[in-house]
Structure 1
Amino acid sequence: MGLALRNEIRPLQAPTPTQTLSPRLQRAVQLLQMSSLDFAALVRQKLGDNPFLESEDDSDPATATPETPDGDDGTAPQVKASNEAWDSGPIGGTDDRELWINDGGSPLRPTGDGDATAMDLTASATTLAMHLHGQLNVMALTPRDLTLARAVVESLDDDGYLRTPLEEIAGLVPCAPPAAPAEMLVALRLVQSLEPVGVAARGVGECLLLQVRQMEDGPCRALAERIVGEHLQALAARDVPGLAATLREPLRRVEAVVDRIRHLDPRPGWRVGDSRVDYIVPDVIVRRQRGQWSVQLNPAVVPRVRLNQVYAELYQRHRSRSSGALGEQLQDARWTLRNVEQRFSTILDVAQAIVRRQRHFLEFGPMAMKPLVLREIAEEVGVHESTVSRVTNNKHMATPLGVFELKYFFSRPMVSAAGNACSGTAIRGLIGDIIQAENPARPLSDADITRQLTAQGLVVARRTVTKYRQLLRIEPVDKRRRHG
């Protein structure tokens, strides 16, 4: 009875505390995960919305004094002395042109007569239709033929293909008498004669055939026309031996012609159009100086903002109960400056820790990459693993070997037969080297590569080899085989 009573009556347990983040801290976590370009855009927005923030490039030194987020030493809210990147040069200016390029559409300030604005400096994009219409305009065509050809051009998709039937296009052209099928076919052939070659095709086969007919080598062109026109499925399956047997041609000759066909462009419309390229802007830059690797923040991604001391002092002198909104803006401005400092200081600390552990990669390449997990960097920097994960997300490092996302330097350790640990990146590099050195006539299967790795003391599953080969964008064995 006593035992049963003791089982029934248990001491009340205190509720388990749960860790909750304040809205401001949640916002700081989100900002830390942003790319530097997105973060810079957000800071620019705050510069426009918050009167207590100003750009250091636009401020008047005689009327404004920089203040740190803590307001204790009168220096600008930059990453402090451990970060020597501030000595590497000024941050890019904030003139109209840079604002337009960086923001993609910032409001333009009025300019004087003869001054170029950002709009004047922005080149207009040429579309595929504009490119084709320009060629039609210089050709000696009757108004009717020009109208029909333009109707075909306007029906092309972004790939340059004509997906709409000619009969349907003819019904949409306002001309009298209505366009006959023969006239529409002439208009189609006219557009197909324009650049880029292969445009206005009604399928992949016709697109390739239009390009094959431009080959200068007559025998090669004739064989390519047969392959594309009569054996497109075998070409897509890369069945070179089957093609050679069907065509009764030497295997080597068929393989050479197939290689020529593979270099044709199945999407000719992509050659013309918006040529804008989204470039990666590195957050940190790694250089070798006096035999040591140094890490610096890229000044181009660090916003140079500070507190407008004049406005802050005026508010402190004249604040009242009715000025609560201004007080919130002042508090938000100081929080923004603290976030700028903390964000880039953390990015720099994490990047420096990565470089210290992966210096052999910088000196010898991917084969020298060491296994690295988030916990190691977190312990060295003194932050939580989740913070390192957010810092490495959408952040890039420029090195002499190229620009890499910070996550690239992390991989789980894989233990060799001798007990040594190696990274997945190093194994991927080794797989790439093995395939590059293989005999084209007898390429290695994933199982063969697995056996070679095992012979070198690296126990890797075949499915892992397949995954790494796919990450390297290397085709499987049957598509790498070259017949001789």
Structure 2
Amino acid sequence: MKQHLQLKLSQQLALTPQLQQAIRLLQLSTIELNQEIEHALNENPLLELAEDLSESGGVQSNTLEKDTSKEDKPFDDDSFEQDSTWENLSIPTANRQDDEHGEDYFSVEEKISLVDHLKQQLQLLPLTQKDKLIISQLIANINDLGYLETPLEEIMEQFPGEVEIELEEMKTCLKLLQTLDPPGICARTLAECLLIQLHLQYASDPYYHLAIITCKDHLVLLGNRDYIKLKKVLKITDEQLRSTIQLITQLNPKPAEHFFLQDTKYIIPDVIVKKYKKKWVAQLNPQVLPRLKINQLYANLLQKNNSSSSLQQQLQEARWLIKNVQQRFETILKVSQAIVDEQQAFFENGDISMRPMVLKEIADLVGLHESTISRVTTQKYLFSPRGIFELKYFFSSHVSTETGGMASSTSIRALIKQLITNENPKKPLSDNQISDILNERGIVVARRTVAKYRESMQIYPTNQRKVI
């Protein structure tokens, strides 16, 4: 085989460390960005927080015009402009706890675990060592909702061979656990969970016995909302059935759920939308604007002595971070304003006026790549008089109308919800009827689509919405 040399020319995009950082910062949420900056402040002596906005220079929170100059152009995956004018910037202190507990005060209450909660109650009871051993094993098998799904016989097999446990001992300890708080804990079925709560909390209620019979023997009918048949088998009046159901709905089918809920995640909106001269305008939230600057003491030392290469590198990294954070906020603002411009009707009238929109539309408007728009709109939030929304919320699919136009899936969901809210509860609308009504209004939506949208909003079907 004959060997030979061949020259080949090709083009490829090389991501510089600064561009890599810029892209990474863009996809971070505000809280994650604050954590990143806090880490940088701890690691880089050339970087520090400014005392106030005037010292830091700040970021303008007004709207950027669509025809931004080349110097103001936000970064994209394919191009990145450097600007040496931004040395100082304002950065937020995320989740700070003000002494006066102002609007920026956030706290997460320390929660006791379910195991500790149960053990605290058991400390007050006279238990033998064997009882404690059995109860500990029962508690270890409770799931996150508070149920004991594992059969007692299987739990008995979990003990070491030298420990002899009788089934009756297991049942006795289980009954003891079921008297503890939260009511309904350690039940083996939903029916048992509800029955325990009725016995512990509502034994004196006038509808206690009807509720007991319903939970014990007719829970399927109740779950299916088959009220007509339920009233017939119980042989009761409408008023008695209504009161019985009202009592049962006070019970908690997931008694231990709150012990396993994740810590609350706070949303800090990046953008605030306000109406100005009959137009909705986006502004950066001043609470999240950075307050970063270069440490002038170290910077002046470096000007006099260039021998420290490590400090020179840290100075460059500090400048990169400041510029990249600045560009991040400029990009978020520019994209947000483009979204607001396209969705003026939504901010005026709500979901029912949401227009269909895809990432490419905004990408074309602001001159950025679709992947950049995707990063900008993920985990970035907008606050408006209509609520807080992730920027991604404003992008939705569409269906055709008879007039040749398009309607967004969000507006169709809002119309379906509106129709169901205003329906006669004794004669609720079927999915077919809703489809026909929408078709009469020029929105072509099949029955299957109506059902899909209804289910996505967790709205019951016709037979379960009907009231007696």
Mark yes or no: TM-score above 0.5. yes
- How far apart in 2 are the matches of 1:274 and 1:434? 34
Say if 2:294 is the partner of 1:307.
Answer: yes
The answer (yes or no) to whether the contact 1:66–1:307 under 8 Å persists in 2 is no
The size of the alignment, in residue pairs, is 427
The answer (yes or no) to whether the contact 2:399–2:409 under 8 Å persists in 1 is yes
- How far apart in 2 are the matches of 1:194 and 1:361? 50
1:396 partner letter: Y
Residue ranges of structure 2 left out of the alignment (5+ in a row):
1-7, 60-81, 99-106
Structure 1 residue 298, shift from structure 2 partner:
2.0
Partner of 2:197: 211
SS at match of 1:335: helix
Structure 1 residue 285, shift from structure 2 partner:
1.5
Structure 1 residue 268, shift from structure 2 partner:
0.1
Report the CA distance shift for 1:367/1:124 in structure 2 as closer, same or farther (over 3 A).
Answer: closer
- How far apart in 2 are the matches of 1:259 and 1:123? 32
Partner of 1:445: 430
Say if 2:452 is the partner of 1:473.
Answer: no
SS at match of 1:268: coil
1:331 partner letter: Q
Partner of 2:103: none
1:107-151: CA deviation from partner (whole Å, max 9, x where unpaired): xxxxxxxxxxxxxx9854212222233333445x35569736853
Structure 1 residue 400, shift from structure 2 partner:
1.0
Report the CA distance shift for 1:16/1:251 in structure 2 as closer, same or farther (over 3 A).
Answer: farther
- How far apart in 2 are the matches of 1:477 and 1:180? 50
Instruction: Give runs of aligned pairs for residues 52-451 of structure 1, distance below 5 A.
Output: 52-57=46-51, 70-72=83-85, 76-77=88-89, 91-92=92-93, 124-138=110-124, 141=126, 147=132, 151=136, 152-153=138-139, 155-166=141-152, 181-213=167-199, 214-215=201-202, 220-244=207-231, 246-247=233-234, 254=241, 257-258=244-245, 260-272=247-259, 276-288=263-275, 292-320=279-307, 323-451=308-436
- Same amino acid, percent of matched pairs: 40
Structure 1 residue 366, shift from structure 2 partner:
1.4
Structure 1 residue 247, shift from structure 2 partner:
4.8
- How far apart in 1 are the matches of 2:95 and 2:253? 43
Partner of 1:35: 29
Partner of 1:11: none
Structure 1 residue 363, shift from structure 2 partner:
2.3
RMSD: 3.8
Higher RCO (CA 8 Å, separation ≥ 6 residues): 2
Structure 1 residue 343, shift from structure 2 partner:
0.3
Report the CA distance shift for 1:168/1:23 in structure 2 as closer, same or farther (over 3 A).
Answer: same
1:286 partner letter: V
The answer (yes or no) to whether the contact 2:356–2:407 under 8 Å persists in 1 is yes
Report the CA distance shift for 1:72/1:303 in structure 2 as closer, same or farther (over 3 A).
Answer: closer
Report the CA distance shift for 1:453/1:237 in structure 2 as closer, same or farther (over 3 A).
Answer: same
- In the superposition, the TM-score normalised over structure 1's length comes to 0.75
The answer (yes or no) to whether the contact 1:197–1:210 under 8 Å persists in 2 is yes
Partner of 1:114: none
- How far apart in 2 are the matches of 1:318 and 1:209? 80
1:77 partner letter: L
Report the CA distance shift for 1:58/1:93 in structure 2 as closer, same or farther (over 3 A).
Answer: farther
Structure 1 residue 413, shift from structure 2 partner:
4.6
- How far apart in 2 are the matches of 1:270 and 1:222? 27
SS at match of 1:449: helix
The answer (yes or no) to whether the contact 2:272–2:384 under 8 Å persists in 1 is yes
- How far apart in 2 are the matches of 1:380 and 1:49? 39
Structure 1 residue 336, shift from structure 2 partner:
1.0
1:294-339: CA deviation from partner (whole Å, max 9, x where unpaired): 422223333321222322332343224xx54443332222111111
Report the CA distance shift for 1:360/1:58 in structure 2 as closer, same or farther (over 3 A).
Answer: closer
Partner of 2:72: none
- How far apart in 2 are the matches of 1:338 and 1:170? 64
- In the superposition, the TM-score normalised over structure 2's length comes to 0.77
The answer (yes or no) to whether the contact 2:147–2:188 under 8 Å persists in 1 is yes
